[in-house]
Amino acid sequence: MTEATVTTGHADSDGTDWLAGRRLDWLVTACVCWGTAGLVLDVRSHVEGFSFAEEGFLTPEHAVIYSGFLAVAGLLAVVVQRERWRGADWREAVPTGYGLGLVGLVLFALAGPGDALWHATFGSEANVEALASPTHLALASGGVLFCTSPLRATLARVHDGAEPRGWLATGPLVLTSTLAAVVVTVFTVYAHPAFLLAGEGGVSAAHGLSGILFHAALVAAVVLFLSTRVTLPAGAVTLLVVVPAGAVAWLGGHVWLIPWYLAAGLVAEVAATLARRRLDHRRWPPLVGAVTPGAFVAVHFIALAARGSLSWTVHLWVGAVFLAAVVGGFLGLLSAPRPGPHGGAAD
């Protein structure tokens, strides 16, 4: 029995197996959405002043996070054991794309008790320390690994010759990529322009600009990684731009920014759609890479100006937009397919 047979085989080939293929991807995606919501709620409680020293382990937010983790672990345990009963060995029993997910589950399971031991040994973290704590970063890394299992499963189908289209086929890929970006933005919230309100007088230009460039690279990288591998469904680019930034804006109490970020996401969506239709496969990635973060940063400053709180000089904020576009465009150049030996795209 090959790995591909386990992934697509048995009843999944005719769409009746609800614990394999896309059905499994959607179930895991739903559990990951639940757990990521708990993470955002947990960080929000700390932003509002809840102390890590007072927190303890048994909190409603932790219950949401760990129940999502347990649900994913339970699903994969059932899937693997079922394939074992069907005669597969341990390696074959793991669905394609979920191997790293199992590694992430183990890392997450070890990091939880490890975090308690860390606190007992070194004390509780405060503010940014909590986001840079090794055990918290281990939890985040494990979470991203099992969170993105449906992403890897969908890409494996593409590699095997399938061409998934539409939300039903690519939804888990888009949603889990979005959630992974949410985890990264939440753990780097101290540098995100939506949290800092980069452009206002309360944050230094160096701090604000550094955060803008980091998150410009992040949003461009996620959009380019997906759009150069699959045909994204309508609204996917908008979702990838808006949800991580919107989560951070909510954490910082700046929900008024979310409609503006929605506008930036729509601009990026239109640019990505038109570029793919009218440009060849080597020219559109740099354009999409430049427009996606460039539009986001430009709209951020326009929102501050409309609110009357933009304090950066025109030299600084226009330069920030330009640099964000350069970062994204450079990533687009790196992600564009290489020319083959006869001028076509290399495999």
**Higher-confidence position of 313 and 21:** 313
Check whether residue 21 and residue 80 sit in a common domain: yes
Residue-level pLDDT at 242? 96
Where does a domain end: 144, 171, 198?
A: 171
**Higher-confidence position of 40 and 89:** 40
Residue 88's CB is within 10 A of a number of other CB atoms, namely 19
Residue 82 within a domain: yes
Where does a domain end: 171, 204, 220?
A: 171
Residue-level pLDDT at 50? 61
Residue 70's CB is within 10 A of a number of other CB atoms, namely 14
Residue 6, pLDDT > 50, answer: no
Mean of the per-residue pLDDT values of the chain = 85
Check whether residue 289 and residue 197 sit in a common domain: yes
Residue 345, pLDDT > 80, answer: no
Amino acid at site 76: L
Residue 69 within a domain: yes
Check whether residue 8 and residue 79 sit in a common domain: yes
SS3 345: strand
Check whether residue 199 and residue 254 sit in a common domain: yes
Check whether residue 228 and residue 197 sit in a common domain: yes
Residue-level pLDDT at 106? 92
Residue 128's CB is within 10 A of a number of other CB atoms, namely 12
Check whether residue 205 and residue 294 sit in a common domain: yes
Residue 239, pLDDT > 80, answer: yes
Mean pLDDT within 134-146: 91
Check whether residue 311 and residue 282 sit in a common domain: yes
Residue 181 within a domain: no
Is 219:244 a contact under the CB 8 Å cutoff?
Answer: yes
Residue 182 within a domain: no
Check whether residue 51 and residue 12 sit in a common domain: yes
- Model pLDDT for residues 50-104, shown as the tens digit of each residue: 655 555 556 787 788 888 888 988 888 888 888 788 877 778 888 888 999 999 9
Residue-level pLDDT at 22? 86
Check whether residue 214 and residue 340 sit in a common domain: yes
Confidence of residue 344 (pLDDT cuts 50, 70, 90): very low
Where does a domain end: 171, 198, 213?
A: 171
Beta bridge pairs of residue 345: 339
Residue 103 within a domain: yes
Check whether residue 23 and residue 153 sit in a common domain: yes
Check whether residue 205 and residue 336 sit in a common domain: yes
- Model pLDDT for residues 297-318, shown as the tens digit of each residue: 999 999 999 999 999 999 999 9
Question: Is the backbone of residue 31 left (phi > 0), alpha (psi -120 to 50) or beta?
Answer: alpha
Residue 271 within a domain: yes
**Higher-confidence position of 28 and 53:** 28
Mean pLDDT within 132-143: 90
Residue-level pLDDT at 113? 86
Q: In total, how many domains does the chain have? A: 2
Residue 180 within a domain: no
Check whether residue 279 and residue 213 sit in a common domain: yes
Residue 15, pLDDT > 90, answer: no
Name the pTM for this structure.
Answer: 0.86
Structure tokens, 209? 């600009």
Residue 9, pLDDT > 50, answer: no
Over pLDDT 70: what percentage of the chain? 89
Q: Which of 163, 147, 149, 105 is nearest to 7 (CA)?
A: 149
Residue 230, pLDDT > 70, answer: yes
Residue 323 within a domain: yes
- The whole domain housing 146 covers 1-171
Among 60-69, 280-289, 318-327, top mean pLDDT goes to 318-327
